[in-house]
Amino acid sequence: MLVPLLLLLTAAQTVTHEATALRTACDGSSREVARLNPGDAVAIHYALAGGDGPCYKVSAESGGRRWEGWLTAADLTNTLAFEKERIAGLPIRPRPPGPEPPKPDARTAVALPEGAGARLKKATQLLNANQPAEALAVTEAMLKDQGPQADLLALAGMAAQRGDQTAQAIQYFQQSLAMRQSPAVERMLATARRELETDRSSEKLFGMRFLFRYDTREVTPEQARSIVPLLDSEFNRISEVLGCRAEERIVVVVQTVEAFRRTTGAAEWAGGQYDGRIRVALPEGGGMGPGARRAFAHEITHACLANLGSFPAWLHEGLAQKLSGDRPPAADLALVKQMARQNQLPSLKRLSGTWSRLSPQHARVAYAAAYQAAEALFAAYGNDGARNLVRNPETLAQVSAELDRRVRQ
């Protein structure tokens, strides 16, 4: 799963009332998970319709801990913004499982502040090109020359975090907030603090293109030594198809499913994440078999595409499945064909935003549709089709229209 990286993020929802009950389901009689307080930050994942209005699946930060559960519209501020984003995305279908709309303003690159100078542009370009160490060096040089500035400190924090220097990132985010309050930086600080608290993967092993970090309670040193060449091998294979390079080592972190959820706050259907670093949830039982290899290849594809430019979610997820060998279930592929025949399948253009707010059932449809599009890409344009497309992004609209047509055949 690719995580969009934004310097300026949209406003989050917060809790409205004292001692608001976060529950395991929409029903008011369901078990209480936690009590939330006014101002506690909430991230909405998706919504369900109910007799008394919509009910939202959320992640919440309260009392220094992270919780997941359900809240009603009356419990939250700013739900109108979420509903506007939702309605602006994929069309709402009266019959499930029609895809729920993703957030429409997602980008895969860090945004530049208005009026940015040449060195700030260079630092941002380096960060977007997966060179966080170089970006941090440029940003720290600017801080030394120009003195502390809120935007520079926030950018330094992002570079430090993507470079796997979380404690240093926290310091930069705190300094930025001391100069100017920013909900975006507050959320990045909360993420970094949660990561520092929950991530116990402290052992490191260096490969040609990867820095592999792991927890010795979950991965043995022998397993780690076998994983690093596997990562290099998968990168070489994927690079032959897409033509990407790695100017700096890419950080790869392996965690248990529970630790992965706590650290990343990823959607419940996600088994991996790329946000400048690759995180993979350890398969059940701790095995490092074909499933783990596919998970690594999936996230390496995201890293590879991020190195090459900014591309829509459907292309990221379609190619990540195709190149990892992670084929969706036959039932999901059949459902996509059925939706296409009934003219209910959203266009690829509408599958371009982030998928982090999709429910599990809608995510299955989106992934299957993206996989079908990737299959059509190779069928229509040959083995060099993907490389030609990412090298010539100006052809994306034309190619997307052709793939839409083929998927609907």
User: What is the C-alpha separation between 352 and 315, in angstroms, rounded?
Assistant: 8
Could you tell me if 33 and 47 are in contact, meaning their C-beta atoms sit under 8 angstroms apart? no
User: What is the C-alpha separation between 86 and 213, in angstroms, rounded?
Assistant: 37
What is the token pair recorded at 405? 């047509």
Could you tell me if 143 and 153 are in contact, meaning their C-beta atoms sit under 8 angstroms apart? yes
> Is domain 118-198 in CATH 1.10.260.40, yes or no?
no
Could you tell me if 349 and 393 are in contact, meaning their C-beta atoms sit under 8 angstroms apart? no
User: Which one, of 348, 368, 384, lies nearest residue 90 by Cα?
Assistant: 348
How high is the pLDDT of residue 86? Answer: 47
User: What is the C-alpha separation between 327 and 24, in angstroms, rounded?
Assistant: 32
**Cα separations in angstroms, 156 against 170, 171, 174:** 10, 10, 11
Could you tell me if 82 and 44 are in contact, meaning their C-beta atoms sit under 8 angstroms apart? yes
The pLDDT tens digits along the chain (409 residues) read: 655 443 333 335 778 888 888 887 777 777 888 888 887 888 776 666 544 567 777 778 777 777 778 888 888 877 665 554 444 433 323 223 333 333 333 333 455 444 446 777 888 888 877 788 899 999 999 999 989 999 899 999 999 988 888 899 999 999 999 999 988 899 889 888 988 887 777 788 888 889 898 888 778 888 888 888 889 999 999 999 999 888 888 999 888 788 788 777 776 667 788 888 898 887 655 556 788 889 899 999 999 998 888 899 999 999 999 999 989 999 999 999 999 999 888 889 888 877 767 777 788 889 999 999 999 999 999 888 899 999 898 999 999 999 999 998 8
How high is the pLDDT of residue 129? Answer: 77
> Is domain 203-308 in CATH 3.90.600.10, yes or no?
no
The letter for the amino acid at 24 is: T
What is the distance in angstroms between the CA of the first residue and the CA of the last residue of the chain?
28
What angle in degrees, to the nearest 10, is found between the helix axes of 118-128 and 150-162? Answer: 20
Domain map (residue ranges) of the chain: 13-88, 118-198, 203-308, 313-407
27: left (phi over 0), alpha (psi -120 to 50) or beta: beta
User: Which one, of 343, 351, 406, lies nearest residue 380 by Cα?
Assistant: 406
Whether the model clears a pTM of 0.75, i.e. scores above it, the answer is: no
User: What is the C-alpha separation between 60 and 15, in angstroms, rounded?
Assistant: 9
How high is the pLDDT of residue 216? Answer: 81
How high is the pLDDT of residue 9? Answer: 34
Angle among Cα 180, 184, 189 to the nearest 5 degrees reads: 85
User: What is the C-alpha separation between 40 and 38, in angstroms, rounded?
Assistant: 6
Could you tell me if 110 and 158 are in contact, meaning their C-beta atoms sit under 8 angstroms apart? yes
User: Which one, of 380, 401, 379, 399, lies nearest residue 390 by Cα?
Assistant: 399
